[in-house]
């Protein structure tokens, strides 16, 4: 498969790129900073330099043409202000979805956030972030032209992955290693019957391949 990943230098994206490359898939990571190209190549991915805050739908669609699936894993980052929560966490996700539809790529995975809700209350930066992610998720879920799956991990950690997760429409809060988030994304890419699902993910006791198979089609 050829998979194009928005936010290709993110911590989950780099892990995902390594997993895809290791099994012979072709990964391309969209990045804004050209200085990050070497890190993507080291992960086995093709770097694509494109600013999703200023690119047109057609420019992004050109990158996506011929892909089997796309993964939106971009984010403004914890040090960004409220304005970039809207332009990246919401706006870029919508742009990427528009471009996927234009390019004819149906499979669309979103790395969202537990608690994402367009109606989330509060004025802190994290509140704005959760509203932006929720608005992006709502936009994607309304699209009949995409076979979307939205993954909402719990508290991300850099612990080594265990391969054991809890994956469900509602899991309750809990931590999950980034390794296991990336590995779950690979399983979701391999499981078309997870299209149309919004799933929460935390560490658990079920092998992640089993967890994805169990939730598929529900």
Which positions are catalytic?
129
HEC states along 85-124? HHHHHHHHHHHHHHHHHHHCCCEEEEECCCCCCCCCCCCC
Note whether 173 and 202 are within 8 A (CB). Answer: yes
CA distance 201 to 98: 26
| Contact (CB, 8 A) for 29 and 95 | no
Residue 217 DSSP SS3: coil
Using CA atoms in the order 217, 14, 21, 195, what is the torsion angle rounded to 10 degrees? 10
3-state secondary structure 165-213: EEEECCCCCCEEEHHHHHHHHHHHHCCHHHCCEEEEEEECCEEHHHHHH
**Angstrom distance (rounded) from CA 22 to CA 175:** 26
């Amino acid at each position: 498969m050829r998979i194009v990943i928005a936010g290709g230098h993110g911590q989950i994206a780099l892990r995902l790129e390594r997993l895809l490359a290791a099994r012979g898939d072709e990964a391309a990571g969209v990045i804004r900073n050209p200085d990050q190209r070497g890190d993507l190549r080291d992960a086995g991915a093709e770097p694509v330099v494109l600013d999703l805050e200023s690119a047109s739908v057609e420019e992004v669609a050109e990158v996506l043409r011929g892909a089997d699936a796309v993964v939106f894993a971009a984010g403004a980052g914890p040090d960004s202000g409220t304005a970039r929560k809207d332009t990246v966490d919401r706006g870029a996700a919508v742009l990427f979805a528009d471009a996927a539809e234009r390019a004819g790529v149906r499979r669309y995975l979103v790395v969202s956030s537990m608690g994402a809700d367009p109606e989330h209350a509060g004025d802190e930066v994290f509140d704005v972030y959760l509203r932006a992610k929720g608005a992006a998720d709502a936009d994607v879920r309304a699209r009949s032209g995409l076979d979307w799956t939205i993954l909402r991990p719990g508290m991300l950690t850099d612990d080594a992955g265990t391969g054991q997760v809890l994956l469900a429409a509602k899991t309750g809060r809990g931590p999950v290693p980034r390794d296991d988030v990336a590995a779950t994304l690979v399983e979701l890419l391999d499981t078309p019957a997870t299209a149309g699902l919004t799933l929460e993910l935390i560490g658990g006791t079920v092998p992640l391949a089993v967890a994805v198979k169990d939730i598929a089609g529900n």
